[in-house]
Amino acid sequence: MKKQMVAMLLAGGQGTRLKELTYAVAKPAIPFGGKYRIIDFPLSNCTNSEIHTVGVLTQYQPHLLHQYIGLGTPWDLDRRNGGVTMLPPYAEADGIKWYDGTANAIYQNMKFLEAHQPEYVLILSGDHIYKMNYMLMLDFHIKQQADATISVIEVPWEEASRFGLMETDEDLQIKRFVEKPADPQTNLASMGVYIFNYQKLKEYLEKDAEAEDSSHDFGKDIIPAMLGGGEKLVAYPYKGYWKDVGTVESLWEANMDLLELDSGLVLHDSAWRIFSSNPQLPPQVVTSTCEIQESFVNEGCIIEGKVRRSIISQDVHIKEGAEIDECVVMAGTVVGAGAKIRRAILTPDLDIPANFELQKKDGEITLLTKETIEKWEGSGDDAFSGSN
């Protein structure tokens, strides 16, 4: 059946800058906000924007992602017509073709797109936290009679050189795309959200596939080729919360933004819910010894200790006397009595011993893993008793 717009979600990224968090899972599967995984955001945006046909392109560590998304039920994407389709690399008679670049991943799934015959294709990535109505962007794209529209956000000038930037004229028509320039001329950064007229996209992907010197990347190859070909590319200015959570620091910051009243990231919003796979756990128990300030706490937790400015995921037990300050605690972790942890992301299912200490100064963030615990030599007292 013909579809107006089909979404293609690029979820194959490894996210090496997230270190141990991505050893076993792809970046889009990383937990966020005490309950979610990063991919819940683009998927829920699709559902809330009434885009009901979504292809999810996976490659690196796909198992958890495939299991997590399943038939797409939590996002209402379990549909007879369309719905969610997982698109890992596949084998043909002449061998397995791994995805080689973002554009190549879409090119290799042209059969999927052909089956739906969309007028427009929405390209998304699975590593950003934001809430966005893609239909408003499509309205803009149609009104501008563009061949491609790229969603952009104003970033602080001092950070602009970390992003792919769009130089535009006053009508928002894109003149030049520059990837991470040393001397930025604009602060309009690409959000990694593109709408293409399908026929144009197909034409340029096919050309790109032939080009031997291409890295088959949307930003580096397809967009410049379209600009060179005289196509109309416009920037869609997005005003709202958007964050690339590609590093331990930015992942921590995005979690902390949930606690700020003016960050623009609001999840208590019944008009634009972020859907997620719900693990069916009992309500959280807070005891008479607990102290919780400015924090997010999910179901299934038992909180006996002190929690300040932290995000606590499901099924976490914080024992009496423990102090958690400015931390992101992922699911299933037990924090032993008297442990003191400040400014860390705690990976899932840790068993943190009693009186464990890891306190970072302002401006520092660390990842607390099983290894960190194994390496820990104990507090002064324990080390002393251990040597006897």
Partner 1 sequence: MRLAAVIDATVTIPGLKELAMYRSSASIPFAGRYRLIDFALSNIVNSDINSVGVFASQQSVSLMDHIGKGKSWDLDRRRNGLYFLPTSQREGDQLSVGSFAALEDHLNFFNKSTQPHIVVTSAFSISQLDYNDMLEKHLASGADITEAVRDGECMKSYIVSKELLMKMIKGFREDRVVSVEDIVNLKKKPYTFAQYEYEGYFVLINSMESYFNESMALLNEITWRQLFLPERPIYTKVKDEPPTKYMKGSNVKRSLVANGSLLEGQVSDSILSRAVEIGKNSKLENCIIMQKCVIEENCDLLYVIADKDVRIKAGSVIHGTKEKPMVIRKGSVVFEGEDV
Residues near partner 1 (CB under 8 A) are 33-35, 74, 258-259, 267-268, 270, 273-276, 278, 280-288, 290-299, 302, 307, 311-313
20 is written with which tokens? 């141990």
Q: C-beta of 328: minimal distance to partner 1 in Å?
A: 12
Between 289 and 359, name the residue whose CB sits nearer to partner 1: 289
Q: Which of 256, 202, 210 is nearest to 226 (CA)?
A: 202
Q: C-beta of 315: minimal distance to partner 1 in Å?
A: 9
CB 344 within 8 A of CB 357: no
DSSP classification of residue 18 = G
* Residue 197: strand pairing partners: 120
Report the distance separating Cα 145 and Cα 147, nearest Å. 7
Q: C-beta of 130: minimal distance to partner 1 in Å?
A: 15
CB 108 within 8 A of CB 88: no
197 is written with which tokens? 């007229």
User: In what helix (H) or strand (E) does residue 367 lie, and over which residues does it extend?
Assistant: strand 366-368
Q: C-beta of 179: minimal distance to partner 1 in Å?
A: 35
Between 292 and 352, name the residue whose CB sits nearer to partner 1: 292
CB 194 within 8 A of CB 149: yes
Q: C-beta of 256: minimal distance to partner 1 in Å?
A: 13
Q: C-beta of 66: minimal distance to partner 1 in Å?
A: 20
Q: Which of 146, 144, 150 is nearest to 163 (CA)?
A: 150
Report the distance separating Cα 7 and Cα 52, nearest Å. 8
CB 290 within 8 A of CB 307: yes
Between 115 and 281, name the residue whose CB sits nearer to partner 1: 281
Between 61 and 133, name the residue whose CB sits nearer to partner 1: 133
Q: C-beta of 33: minimal distance to partner 1 in Å?
A: 7
Between 332 and 378, name the residue whose CB sits nearer to partner 1: 332
CB burial class (10 A; 0-12, 13-18, 19+) of residue 83? middle
Between 280 and 385, name the residue whose CB sits nearer to partner 1: 280
Q: C-beta of 270: minimal distance to partner 1 in Å?
A: 8
Between 196 and 275, name the residue whose CB sits nearer to partner 1: 275
The three-point CA angle 192-153-26 to 5° equals 35
Report the distance separating Cα 235 and Cα 172, nearest Å. 5
Between 159 and 291, name the residue whose CB sits nearer to partner 1: 291
195 is written with which tokens? 């709408």
Q: C-beta of 299: minimal distance to partner 1 in Å?
A: 5
CB burial class (10 A; 0-12, 13-18, 19+) of residue 162? middle
Residue 152: CA count within 13 A, CB half-sphere: 27
Between 132 and 153, name the residue whose CB sits nearer to partner 1: 132
